[in-house]
Structure 1
């Protein structure tokens, strides 16, 4: 099995959920900050021509395909790996690990509305996870220093981000050296899908997203 795949010149690690979780546990056992990004179709489509965004993804310690369509487009043949992506197994194992081990997390979102919604859902479904705080961090709001001080003022193991791309990757690339946490988990829209799928990405929108993604991938293959 290939350990890496490439879509639109974005390299991702083709790991099983258990293999990825081994990395998570390893990262949380260190003192330095490690970064993990879960890549989705909409991120790839939106940033297909964004060279700087691709470079930032490439510098992550772990970049994982978050949806089965990405693996299918990369011609991955392992059905269990595709099934894991479809069932969001890694994300579920990650949250379960945080819950079981009472790990402390800080949440980042684009708005207060999204932030409060995510806090409520995590507290309801994953009660063992300790939320040390959260911050709404819109792009170009000039709140980076304030938010970093807030994060560093807590005893936080993991920074969980549902910021939109490319702002999410821009923030961690620029501020990584200043953050006093062990792990960055960039989830983008994927984590929110578990809770607000009907609101944010209905079935019809999902259908057209998949169709557009397949078309773009096939067009790139023909061009190459």
Structure 2
């Protein structure tokens, strides 16, 4: 039985990083397809304005609070999540166990060459890891049957989709019946850029105090427009709190 908190109609799991890593291991050892999503406030707001996207999010098997804003929202709602579970770190934790547990990854998404570079870095970082397929995110709908065939032929059991929200979540849901070997499909956003080291992650201090978003804004001022969603998110959470009362 999942233990979740409702954040603007998105059921976010009340879970720690350790437990989320263990849950993915359980998923891989099962016989079913599982969708894992990692929303930040921007993604939650996208789902609020897109009924199809919201429905897919609500069908997920595991939703972890990637953004510190989602954790803060839970505190505003007086139903606090235990901690932030960053999607990038969650995937890295699975990779630490990959060789021993038989995880086989398929990297789907990002710009041409980035997924390959990410795979190269991860193979060096985690000896024995199996990255059995790679495909960039620059494809058309008519290319998708061939991509599905390639994923199935690779015998991957974990699909990492870096197509950006909401495309990656919608794609993961759309093909859930056509990927019989996949046990876990995770929407990973820009994680391949981090794995490939073409985008530098915030220093550990910023990660620990929940200011990774601020560091990224300093490094990429063009993100300022996207950050405008944060105050809107807080307002909606406060409105939901008083509506419940």
Tell whether the structures are fold-level matches, with TM greater than 0.5. yes
Q: Tell me, yes or no, if structure 1 residue 219 matches structure 2 residue 220.
A: no
Provide, for residues 22-47 of structure 1, a one-character-per-residue CA deviation record: whole Å limited to 9, x for no partner: 22121111222122112233323444
Q: What SS class does the counterpart of residue 6 from structure 2 fall into?
A: strand
Provide, for residues 67-88 of structure 1, a one-character-per-residue CA deviation record: whole Å limited to 9, x for no partner: 2221012217899933x53696
**Alpha-carbon distance change, 100 to 73 in structure 1, aligned in 2, over 3 angstroms:** same
Larger deviation, residues 24-33 vs 144-153: 24-33
Structure 2 Cα separation of the partners of residues 89 and 122 of structure 1: 13
CA contact (8 A) 1:33 1:181 kept: yes
Structure 1 Cα separation of the partners of residues 88 and 134 of structure 2: 24
Structure 2 Cα separation of the partners of residues 71 and 210 of structure 1: 19
Structure 2 Cα separation of the partners of residues 141 and 47 of structure 1: 22
**Aligned residue number for residue 85 of structure 1:** 85
CA contact (8 A) 1:137 1:144 kept: no
**Aligned residue number for residue 185 of structure 1:** 186
**Alpha-carbon distance change, 145 to 78 in structure 1, aligned in 2, over 3 angstroms:** same
CA contact (8 A) 2:108 2:162 kept: yes
**Aligned residue number for residue 167 of structure 2:** 167
Structure 2 Cα separation of the partners of residues 216 and 174 of structure 1: 30
**Alpha-carbon distance change, 196 to 8 in structure 1, aligned in 2, over 3 angstroms:** farther
**Aligned residue number for residue 108 of structure 2:** 108
**Aligned residue number for residue 147 of structure 1:** 147
**Alpha-carbon distance change, 13 to 87 in structure 1, aligned in 2, over 3 angstroms:** closer
Provide, for residues 84-134 of structure 1, a one-character-per-residue CA deviation record: whole Å limited to 9, x for no partner: 536965333222122443421111004323322322332232232111011
5+ unaligned residues in a row in structure 1: which ranges? none
**Aligned residue number for residue 75 of structure 1:** 75
CA contact (8 A) 2:108 2:135 kept: yes
Larger deviation, residues 21-30 vs 146-155: 21-30
Task: Provide runs of 4+ in structure 1 moved above 6 Å.
Answer: 76-80
**Aligned residue number for residue 35 of structure 2:** 35
Structure 1 Cα separation of the partners of residues 189 and 118 of structure 2: 12
**Aligned residue number for residue 206 of structure 2:** none
What is the aligned-residue RMSD (CA, Å)? 3.1
Q: What SS class does the counterpart of residue 31 from structure 1 fall into?
A: coil
Paired positions, count: 221
